Amino acid sequence: MATSQIPVCPLMSAGNDIPIICVQERCAWYVANLKKCSMYIIGHNTMLELKNKLENRSN
Ligand code: SF4
């Protein structure tokens, strides 16, 4: 079975019985040059900051 390359939008899917796919350029939170949702970018950056803090703590 093939899997979709377009991610499901967690905001628009919340409370729906069926998943809603990301509308990409039609959403204000989509960062077109990175081809990513800003929620993903914020989460990714937060994880990198946490990883750096944990690494610095152990040194
Ligand atoms: S860019 Fe918009 S539509 Fe796409 S996942 Fe993010 S919030 Fe949802």
Residue 18, classed as helix, strand or coil, is coil
User: Given its phi and psi angles, is residue 19 left (phi above 0), alpha (psi -120 to 50 degrees) or beta?
Assistant: beta
Q: Which residue has its alpha carbon closest to ligand 1 atom 3?
A: 22
43, HSE (Cβ side, Cα atoms, 13 Å): 5
pTM for the structure as a whole = 0.77
Model confidence pLDDT, tens digit, residues 5-58: 889 999 999 999 999 999 999 999 999 999 999 999 999 999 999 999 999 987
In a domain, 19, yes or no: yes
Q: Is 27 in the pocket of ligand 1 (CB under 6 A)?
A: yes
In a domain, 20, yes or no: yes
pLDDT score of 5: 81
In a domain, 2, yes or no: no
In a domain, 30, yes or no: yes
Per the structure, how many domains does the chain have? 1
Q: Is 34 in the pocket of ligand 1 (CB under 6 A)?
A: no
Residue-range definition of the domain harbouring residue 19: 10-58
